[in-house]
Structure 1
Amino acid sequence: MADPPPTPTMANAAIADKVARLKVVPQRQYGIWVGTALALLLVALIIRAFAVNPAFSWDTAAKYILHPPILRGLGTTLLLTVLIMAVAIVVGTVVAIMRVSPSPILRAFASVYVWFFRGVPALIQLIFWFNLSLLVRQISLTLPYIGTVFSARTNDIMTPFLSAVVALSLCEAGYMAEIIRAGIKSVPSGQAEAASALGMPYRMILKRITLPQAMRFVVPPTGNEAINLLKMTSLVTFIAVDDLFYSAQSIYARTFETIPLLIVVAFWYLAVVSIMSVGQLFLERHFGRSDKRDDAMLIEILARAITWRRRQSDV
């Protein structure tokens, strides 16, 4: 009597049994092994060069880490970074809103601003504002029927510190304007159109709908710009602002301990950048919480717009 033909269940079981007996051998990634070995060798050579070479003078560098002039210079660098970034965000936001404005004149003005301040090197802008007195000898405010209310020499107002804040703020605002404009453009236009159809004015649309959603796209590049600005503040050395780098220069110009002082400067820049990177990570997580609930956010925004419209009607 012939055996019955195998059923599909029996065939699948036989195939599964054969697959289970197969020996899986992972593919050898020779390129990754070679690359890893070369990277480890390079790291070992760098560590050996830093540890063995006496010219680095690690003991001298450690002596200057908490040196009072170095700490004062670090404080000036941090103050410059905070002030410049705050002004740049405010000015950049205004310019970005002008760039997406319905007015062609505002768009043209903002475009020229971004074109100019992104095109001219920051060092040239810094030196220009520091030498503003060559163009304007005196800054004064005169009102009709009142006379001169305020008058002062330009050199007395445009100190090196203020010149650095003005120059780098205007320069950084050009980059921030493009970052914020890109964030505004990333928000679907349908939401603004829906709010406009409900009667919400353009200013309120930006405040309640567009800018809050744009933040999650604005924060990461803004963090990068803040870190870049921290390092760019070293340019103020050219106009004798007593920042971190200038303080180190003042010391090694007397002691000729150039390499140890540069190590100290690099250490503090790396330390501050590391702290800023952690802060940026938390900000990105905070503003990125809505990534998984976009529909709920849209419903909430439309509900707020409708509520606002009803309140306006009641008034």
Structure 2
Amino acid sequence: MSLTSDPPVDLAPAQVPAGDPPALKTVPVRHPWRWVAVAVTAVVLAQFLHGLVTNPGWEWDVFARFFASDAILEAVWVTLQLTFYGTALGFALGIVLAFMRLSASPFLKAVAFGYIWAFRSIPLIVQLLFWFNLAYLYEELSLGIPFGPSVWSFDTMGLVGAMSAAVLGLALHQAAYAAEIVRGGVLAVDGGQLEAAAALGIPRLRQLRRIVLPQAMRSILPNAANEIISLFKGTSIVSVMAIGELFYQVQVVYGRNGRVVPLLMVATAWYVLLTTALSVVQHYVERHYAKGSTR
């Protein structure tokens, strides 16, 4: 009986041909339609700019005369005041409403939900006109025993002026949307972090201030900035109350001189400039709260 075995295997390394291997030929990805889109966009933009410069209907001399006039600058200041007060009061109330909806109390949840439902359902112009005509609806307000004699009463005729009614309407309307923005940002924070903080004995207020809000701001800021910009442009709606904000003042001026297009361009330019400034502020605030979360 004989044993057979396989032939021995040559374990020597394979012979590598002398010299460097041939370089691979790389072919870049071509995007012909991208360049077509760029060319078409450039042509359309060039035509639009050419029309802005050469079309006499724009009346750029009238635009330059009124862009920085005293009446327009005062109207811009009124617009900024409405935006600031509406935003500050609206988000202050919105934060309270957001945490009422997040609370464990069914009563607080119901009150916050009812407020948000009502003020998101009623158009802003209706709310503004309601507050503006408060004295017509309620000639006198009083404090005392419910359905009984009053202890103290006062006349409502001079209680709410045009500017106060505008701020009140904008703030109460803004609060309903701010509440949902804040609530969504808080819900975006992982609940496990709060559980860990509670296990470490960190007080609830410190949990909110040092753990929840810094992380929630990443979700809150983009939506909040959109709401602020929308409120800034939406202040033009108070023109129905004859308040001298930017759009109303532009209407007054072109109502006198008939130069509608250049005066509308004055308002448009101011809205674009101030919206751009708000966007720049938004960028830096977002970058501050994004520390440690992005590479």
Quickly name the TM-score band, shorter chain normalised: 0.7 to 0.9
- 1:173 is matched with which residue? 175
Give the TM-score normalised by the residue count of structure 2.
0.88
Task: Tell me if 1:10 matches 2:20.
Answer: no
5+ unaligned residues in a row in structure 1: which ranges?
Answer: 294-315
Given that 2:142 and 2:151 are in contact with CA atoms closer than 8 Å, whether structure 1 keeps it comes out as no
Alignment correspondent of 2:25: 23
User: 1:28 and 1:272 mapped to 2: Cα distance?
Assistant: 40
Distance in 2, matches of 1:169 and 1:9, equals 81
**Percent same amino acid at aligned positions?**
39
3-state SS of the aligned residue for 2:158?
Answer: helix
Residue 116 of structure 1: aligned partner: 118
Using the alignment, how far apart are the partners of 2:191 and 2:94 within structure 1? 21
Give yes or no for the alignment of 1:151 onto 2:151.
no
Q: 1:205 aligned to 2:211?
A: no
Corresponding residue for 1:252? 254
In structure 1, the residue corresponding to 2:154 is in which secondary structure?
A: strand
Matches within 5 A, 1:63-78: 63-78=65-80
The CA distance in 2 between the partners of 1:56 and 1:243, in whole Å, is 23
Q: CA deviation at 1:25?
A: 2.6
CA contact (8 A) 2:143 2:150 kept: no
Alpha-carbon distance in structure 2 between the residues aligned to 1:207 and 1:72: 39
Letter in 1 for 2:121: G
Question: Aligned with 1:207: secondary structure?
Answer: helix
Opposite residue 103 of structure 1, the aligned amino acid is S
Matches within 5 A, 1:1-315: 7=13, 10=16, 17-18=21-22, 20=23, 22-141=24-143, 147-148=151-152, 151-152=154-155, 154-198=156-200, 202-291=204-293
Q: Which amino acid aligns with 2:114?
A: V
Q: 1:292 to 1:66 in 2, by over 3 A?
A: closer
Alignment-derived partner of residue 297 in structure 1: none
TM-score, with length taken from structure 1:
0.82
For 1:138, give the aligned amino acid: E
Give the secondary structure class of the aligned counterpart of 1:73.
helix
Structure with the higher fraction of residues in helix conformation: 1
- Work out the CA distance in 1 between the residues paired with 2:15 and 2:122: 75
Q: Return the letter of the residue paired with 2:213.
A: L
Displacement of 1:112 in angstroms is 1.8
Cα 1:161/1:29, change in 2 over 3 Å: same
Greater displacement, 260-269 / 209-218: 209-218
Q: Output the CA distance in 2 between the equivalents of 1:263 and 1:161.
A: 26
**Amino acid in the other structure paired with 2:111:** F
Gaps of 5+ in 2: 1-9
> What's the offset of the Cα at 1:203?
4.4
Larger-gyration structure (1/2):
2
Quote the offset at 1:28 in angstroms.
2.4
Deviations, residues 102-159 of structure 1 (Å, cap 9, x unaligned): 11111122112222212222112112221222321123445999942x623x231211
User: In 1, distance between residues paired with 2:223 and 2:280?
Assistant: 14
Letter in 2 for 1:92: G
For 2:264 and 2:200, how far apart are their aligned partners in 1? 60
Residue pair 2:250, 2:264 contacting (<8 A) in 1 also: yes
Change (3 A) 1:9 1:67: farther
For 1:108 and 1:199, locate their aligned partners in 2 and report how far apart those are by CA, in whole Å.
Answer: 31
Separation in 2, partners of 1:104, 1:228 = 32
CA deviation profile, 1:149-173 (whole Å, cap 9, x unmatched): x623x23121111111111111111
Tell me: CA distance 1:288–1:255, structure 2 relative to 1, closer, same or farther (3 Å).
Answer: same
RMSD: 2.6
Contact 1:88 1:172 (C-alpha < 8 Å) held by counterparts: yes
| 3-state SS in 2 of match to 1:156 | coil
Q: Distance in 2 between matches of 1:162 and 1:180?
A: 26
8 Å Cα contact 1:141/1:151 also seen in 2: no
Number of the residue aligned with 2:3? none
1:248 Cα deviation from its structure 2 partner: 0.8
Cα distance in 2, alignment partners of residues 34 and 127 from structure 1: 51
- Number of residue pairs matched? 284
